[in-house]
Protein backbone atom coordinates (compact mmCIF):
# COMPACT_ATOMS: atom_id res chain seq x y z
CA UNK A 1 0.00 0.00 0.00
CA UNK A 2 1.46 3.36 -1.02
CA UNK A 3 0.30 6.84 0.00
CA UNK A 4 1.14 10.22 -1.49
CA UNK A 5 1.27 13.10 0.98
CA UNK A 6 0.70 16.45 -0.73
CA UNK A 7 1.28 19.75 1.01
CA UNK A 8 0.41 23.10 -0.50
CA UNK A 9 1.76 26.66 -0.30
CA UNK A 10 3.79 27.87 2.66
CA UNK A 11 3.89 24.46 4.33
CA UNK A 12 7.60 24.46 3.42
CA UNK A 13 7.84 27.45 5.78
CA UNK A 14 6.65 25.52 8.83
CA UNK A 15 8.73 26.55 11.83
CA UNK A 16 9.06 30.06 10.40
CA UNK A 17 5.49 31.01 9.51
CA UNK A 18 3.12 32.02 12.31
CA UNK A 19 4.51 29.58 14.91
CA UNK A 20 1.67 30.52 17.28
CA UNK A 21 -0.69 28.84 14.80
CA UNK A 22 1.44 26.22 13.06
CA UNK A 23 4.02 25.41 15.74
CA UNK A 24 7.80 25.52 15.77
CA UNK A 25 8.60 22.32 13.91
CA UNK A 26 9.72 22.41 10.29
CA UNK A 27 8.48 20.76 7.09
CA UNK A 28 11.39 18.31 7.32
CA UNK A 29 10.25 17.46 10.86
CA UNK A 30 6.78 16.84 9.42
CA UNK A 31 8.13 14.49 6.76
CA UNK A 32 10.14 12.55 9.36
CA UNK A 33 7.07 12.31 11.59
CA UNK A 34 4.80 11.02 8.83
CA UNK A 35 7.44 8.64 7.49
CA UNK A 36 7.82 7.09 10.95
CA UNK A 37 4.05 6.86 11.38
CA UNK A 38 3.61 5.21 7.98
CA UNK A 39 6.44 2.75 8.74
CA UNK A 40 4.62 1.75 11.92
CA UNK A 41 1.47 1.18 9.88
CA UNK A 42 3.44 -0.82 7.31
CA UNK A 43 2.58 1.49 4.42
CA UNK A 44 4.93 3.15 1.94
CA UNK A 45 4.74 6.89 1.51
CA UNK A 46 6.03 9.61 -0.75
CA UNK A 47 5.94 13.36 -0.34
CA UNK A 48 5.19 16.34 -2.51
CA UNK A 49 5.09 20.01 -1.57
CA UNK A 50 4.56 22.98 -3.82
CA UNK A 51 3.60 26.62 -3.64
CA UNK A 52 2.03 26.34 -7.10
CA UNK A 53 -1.51 25.23 -7.84
CA UNK A 54 -0.73 23.62 -11.22
CA UNK A 55 2.14 21.64 -9.73
CA UNK A 56 -0.28 20.17 -7.19
CA UNK A 57 -2.64 19.26 -10.03
CA UNK A 58 0.29 17.57 -11.82
CA UNK A 59 1.29 15.67 -8.67
CA UNK A 60 -2.30 14.48 -8.18
CA UNK A 61 -2.48 13.28 -11.79
CA UNK A 62 0.91 11.59 -11.35
CA UNK A 63 -0.64 9.43 -8.65
CA UNK A 64 -3.06 7.84 -11.14
CA UNK A 65 -2.74 4.02 -11.20
CA UNK A 66 0.35 4.28 -9.02
CA UNK A 67 -0.81 5.41 -5.56
CA UNK A 68 -3.45 3.82 -3.31
CA UNK A 69 -4.32 6.82 -1.15
CA UNK A 70 -3.73 10.57 -1.09
CA UNK A 71 -3.31 12.66 2.05
CA UNK A 72 -3.58 16.32 1.15
CA UNK A 73 -3.17 19.60 2.94
CA UNK A 74 -3.85 22.04 0.10
CA UNK A 75 -3.16 24.94 2.52
CA UNK A 76 -4.58 28.21 1.14
CA UNK A 77 -5.62 26.48 -2.10
CA UNK A 78 -8.15 24.56 0.00
CA UNK A 79 -10.31 27.64 -0.04
CA UNK A 80 -9.89 28.64 -3.68
CA UNK A 81 -8.92 25.79 -5.97
CA UNK A 82 -11.47 24.06 -8.14
CA UNK A 83 -8.54 22.76 -10.21
CA UNK A 84 -7.22 20.70 -7.28
CA UNK A 85 -10.75 19.48 -6.52
CA UNK A 86 -11.13 18.37 -10.14
CA UNK A 87 -7.72 16.67 -10.16
CA UNK A 88 -8.59 14.64 -7.05
CA UNK A 89 -11.91 13.67 -8.61
CA UNK A 90 -10.23 12.85 -11.92
CA UNK A 91 -7.80 10.30 -10.48
CA UNK A 92 -10.46 8.72 -8.28
CA UNK A 93 -7.99 7.78 -5.56
CA UNK A 94 -9.32 7.82 -1.98
CA UNK A 95 -8.16 11.10 -0.47
CA UNK A 96 -8.15 12.57 3.03
CA UNK A 97 -7.94 16.31 3.75
CA UNK A 98 -5.66 17.47 6.57
CA UNK A 99 -5.13 20.86 8.19
CA UNK A 100 -2.63 21.56 10.94
CA UNK A 101 -4.80 24.28 12.44
CA UNK A 102 -8.46 24.18 13.38
CA UNK A 103 -9.69 25.93 10.24
CA UNK A 104 -13.30 25.76 11.43
CA UNK A 105 -12.57 28.22 14.23
CA UNK A 106 -10.59 30.65 12.05
CA UNK A 107 -11.53 33.38 9.54
CA UNK A 108 -14.67 33.21 7.42
CA UNK A 109 -12.65 32.83 4.21
CA UNK A 110 -11.27 29.54 5.54
CA UNK A 111 -14.72 28.04 6.00
CA UNK A 112 -15.02 26.76 2.45
CA UNK A 113 -13.03 23.74 1.27
CA UNK A 114 -13.14 22.86 -2.40
CA UNK A 115 -10.61 20.02 -2.22
CA UNK A 116 -12.53 18.62 0.73
CA UNK A 117 -15.44 17.87 -1.60
CA UNK A 118 -13.29 15.16 -3.19
CA UNK A 119 -12.09 13.76 0.16
CA UNK A 120 -13.70 11.01 2.19
CA UNK A 121 -12.53 12.41 5.52
CA UNK A 122 -11.01 15.51 7.10
CA UNK A 123 -8.71 15.97 10.08
CA UNK A 124 -8.13 19.55 11.26
CA UNK A 125 -6.58 21.10 14.34
CA UNK A 126 -4.53 18.04 15.28
CA UNK A 127 -1.15 19.38 14.14
CA UNK A 128 1.20 16.73 12.77
CA UNK A 129 -1.01 13.96 14.19
CA UNK A 130 -3.71 14.78 11.65
CA UNK A 131 -1.54 13.24 8.93
CA UNK A 132 -1.12 10.05 10.96
CA UNK A 133 -4.86 9.91 11.61
CA UNK A 134 -5.36 10.28 7.86
CA UNK A 135 -2.93 7.45 7.11
CA UNK A 136 -4.68 5.20 9.63
CA UNK A 137 -8.05 6.05 8.11
CA UNK A 138 -6.87 5.26 4.58
CA UNK A 139 -5.21 2.03 5.65
CA UNK A 140 -8.43 0.87 7.29
CA UNK A 141 -10.50 1.98 4.31
CA UNK A 142 -8.29 0.21 1.78
CA UNK A 143 -7.71 -2.73 4.17
Q: Is 22 a catalytic residue?
A: yes
Q: Is 79 a catalytic residue?
A: no
Query: Does 100 sit near ligand DQA (CB under 6 A)?
Result: yes
What's the min distance (Å) between Cβ of 28 and ligand DQA?
16
What's the min distance (Å) between Cβ of 100 and ligand DQA?
4
Figure out which of the listed residues 110, 121, 136, 139 binds ligand DQA, where binding follows CB under 6 A: 110
Catalytic residue among 64, 77, 79, 99: 99
What's the min distance (Å) between Cβ of 97 and ligand DQA?
9
106: left (phi over 0), alpha (psi -120 to 50) or beta: beta
Query: Does 10 sit near ligand DQA (CB under 6 A)?
Result: yes
Quick one: which of 60, 57, 50, 77 has its CA closest to 4? 60
3-state secondary structure of 112: coil
140: left (phi over 0), alpha (psi -120 to 50) or beta: alpha
Q: How far apart are CA 63 and CA 67, in angstroms?
A: 5
Figure out which of the listed residues 76, 83, 126, 133 binds ligand DQA, where binding follows CB under 6 A: 76
Q: How far apart are CA 116 and CA 88, in angstroms?
A: 10
Residues in touch with ligand DQA (CB under 6 A): 10, 73, 75-76, 78, 99-101, 103, 110
Residues forming the active site: 22, 99
Amino acid sequence: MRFLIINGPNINFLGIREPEIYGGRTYLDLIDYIRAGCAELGVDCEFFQSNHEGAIVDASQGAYKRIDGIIINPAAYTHTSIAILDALKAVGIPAVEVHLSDVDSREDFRQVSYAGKACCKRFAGMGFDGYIAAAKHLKQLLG
